[in-house]
Structures are given as structure tokens and as C-alpha cells.
Amino acid sequence: MDNKQAALELGIKPVGQLLMQYALPAIVAMTASSLYNIIDRAMIGQVVGPEAIAGLGITFPLMNLGAAFGAAVGVGASTCISVKLGQRDYKTAENLLGNTVTLNLIVGFLFMAICLLFLNPILRFFGASDATLPYAREFMVVILLGNMVTHMYFGMNAVLRAAGKPRHAMYATLFTVGMNIVLVVAFVWWLRWGIRGAALATITSQSMALCWQMKQFSNQKELLHLKRGIYKLKATLVRNIIAIGISPFLMNATACVVVIFMNNQFVRYGGDMAVGAYSIANSIAMVFFMFVMGMIQGMQPIVGYNYGAEHYDRMFRCLWITIAVATGILLVGWTLSMAFPNEIARIFTTDASLIALAGRGIRLNMLVFFVVGSQAVITNFFQCIGKVKISIFLSLSRQLILLIPMAYVLPFFIGLDGVWYSMALSDFGSFAMTIPVLIWYMKKLKRK
């Protein structure tokens, strides 16, 4: 089935069936990716040591910042493409594809160059100590050198989903994850290349998957394919991409700021091992949240297409189903985390003190985890329909407006636990702010 037929189905096929068709490949891919992250961190923790886990935690802000720039292009472009396909403006959709390639190359190179130039001061600012800096630097040098590949790989996967090729996006991710695991075992366990080996495995597997993606987009029989004349940046298209992409950019950039602040708070009140515990707790939360991200990725082209085609009933039906499934998934994650926190922590380390810190951290971090799904789905819903200001506000409400002030104030009264509790409180507060905003928008659209 070509791109055109796949795109037309977004407006006529039953919404529940469509959502499963698009979400299941994304869920499989995201789940495999999160399991790889678990294996990667477990391998580093078991083979290299607890300091390496803490050093890896220090790199999260920089990884998030790179993802922010990648999302500004990839998510922005894929959303624009979904809307243009809904409007049946295929020529503009094709030009958006070419501009996505060019923007990814430019942004990826600039991010790499600037970060490599100032890497040590950046990592120190992010909370690296004398013990964790060597591990963080060794990992990030390799990741940054392959940054253009990473940006292009994620950007092309987003466009594949928007173009009606969710299974192809899944195949690319599954291949990357599978190859990653094989290479991590070879580089870290067998060759003993340490944390650098894990980074090399990531970039190598993404490079191989990117070659396959570009081959798919080179097929001239497809509606959207790479050809001459579409790579020159056009001001209107770039503005549209950035206008949509600014929301996921700010989400990821804010996450970077938050992790920097949280790392420093954990170092201040609990030392390097508390940073390691935070890294483990975050990894567990992300395993379950990746299921939700898969649902969101499946929702995006359906919502974007039907918004462009003015099929609002189908658009909202897709939203409700996604919220229900996302909440159910996170309830499973909440139950397991409350019941087996120490057992989960042992996957990453044999260090008794780190297990104790991480076990308690997992429970406190996941206290109200089941409300996060609906908040994330609604925030991304507004992004899908181009309501960027609303999406930005809802995203910032959790991370900047609520989390940072709480994480600063609460430790004065209850120490390290205050940093952990701030995450659960901000999750619930942002959920309470999101529901009224959605109700307001629905009433506004109904009146219109």
C-alpha cells in the first residue's frame, strides 16, 4: 500500500482500529528501546561499577537537550506532514520531507560542535564530580560525534509514521535495539571497552538503521520520496516546522534544565550514590512511560490528519481511547514499583547502599505515576493540532512551574526525601491543571 492510500485511511477507517494499527508498532518499538536502556545500564552497572551508573545519570540532561533539538525538527515536520496529507497537499508534504533532511543535518552538526567544545564545563554544571566526570565525558564524546546520525534517525522515523508507514518505523527501531544489544554485549562485556563501548554500540546501530530508512525514502514509487529540488530550505516551511516543533523542543529542553537541577539537589542532599539512584528510578519510570509514548506516536498522525480534514468527532474519539489505554499501562507500572522496588533496583547493581537508595526512590518517584499518562496525552494532543501555546503551557506546568520550586523548598524540611516527593507532587499538580484546559478547549470548539 502506498503513502497516498495509507494517508486516506486515516480519515475513513474506524478510529480504534487505526489507533491500534499505528500505536502497536510504536509500542513494540518503544518497549524494545526501553528494555535496551535497562540492559545497557544494567551492563554498565554490573561490569563497570556504581560510579559509572552515576556518571551516566549526569549525561541525561545533555542527552535530553540533544533530543530537544531533534524533536523540534522531527516532530514539527512529521506533524506538518500529517496535516498536509489530511488536506491532500502532497507537493508541500514532499518539500517538508526534504527540508527535514536539511534541518537535521544543520542542527545536528551545530549541536555536536558546540557541545564538544565546552564538554567539561557543561558536565560540571550538570552535577559531575571528580569521580563521575571521566565516565560522563567518555560516554558523551562518542554520542556527540554521532549526533547528526541520531538526529536524522529519529527524524526519519517520525516522518515514516506521518507518511502512513508505522510498521516501517517499528522495523527501524527494532533493528536498532537488537543490534544495540548485540554490540553492547560485545563491546562492554566481551571486549571490556566500558562506558565508551555502550556509546559506540548506540551510534553504530543507529547508523545502520538510518541507511535502511534512507533506502525506503529513495523509492520513487512512493508518494513521499527523496528527490532533487526538495532540500533547499524554504522560509515558510521552516517556520511551520519550528512553530510546531517549539513545543516538544521546550518539553525536552525543560526536562534538561530539570534534570540538571535535580542532579545537583541529589548530590547536595545525598551524594553521588543518590544521583545513581535517581538514574535507576528514572529508567524504571521510562520503561512504562515508553508504552505511553508509543500510544502518543500512534495518535499523532490520526489526530493531525483528522484535524486537517475537520473530522473533529474522530479526532476526539482517538484522544479518549489513547487516554484510557495510557492510564491503564501506568497503573501496571505503579503496582509493580510499589510491590517490588528493591528487586527492581538489583537489576542495575549489587551495591547494597545503592539498592536501598534506589528502592526507596522508585517508590517515591512513582507515587502518583498513573495520572502522568493522561497529562502527557493531552499535552501532545494540543501539539498535534497546532495549539502550540497551550501545549507549551501544559508541559511547563509540570516541570518548571511546579517541580523546581518544590524540589528546592521541600528538602529544607525533610532532606533527601523532599527531592523525591517533589516529583510526585508536581505530577499530580500538572494533571489537575490539564483537565480544565481540555474541557475549556472542547467547549470553545463546540461553540465554533
Distances (CA, A) of 58 to 52, 182, 259, 260, 316: 10, 25, 8, 8, 39
pLDDT score at 413: 93
Find how far residue 375's CA is from the centre of its chain.
15
The backbone torsions φ and ψ at residue 348, rounded to the nearest 5 degrees and listed phi first, read: -95, -25
Q: Which of 78, 120, 121, 85 is nearest to 100 (CA)?
A: 78
Query: Per-residue pLDDT tens for 132-189?
Result: 889 989 999 999 999 899 888 888 888 887 777 878 888 888 898 889 889 988 998 8
pLDDT of residue 7: 56
Q: Are the CB atoms for 352 and 344 separated by under 8 Å?
A: no
Q: Residue 81 and residue 71: Cα distance in Å, rounded?
A: 14
Predicted local confidence at residue 5, as pLDDT? 58
DSSP 160-201: HHHTT-HHHHHHHHHHHHHHHHHHHIIIIIIS--HHHHHHHH
Determine if the pTM surpasses 0.85.
no
**pLDDT at res. 326:** 94
Dihedral over Cα of 254, 436, 295, 210: its sign:
negative
Please give the average pLDDT of every successive group of 10 residues along the chain, which has 448 residues: 57 82 78 70 75 78 78 83 79 88 92 94 85 89 92 86 80 87 88 87 93 87 79 89 81 79 90 87 87 88 84 91 95 95 89 91 94 93 85 82 93 94 94 93 82
pLDDT at 4: 53
pLDDT per residue as tens digits for the range 67-77: 778 778 888 88
What's the pLDDT at 376? 92
Report the pLDDT value the prediction gives residue 1, as an integer from 0 to 100: 43
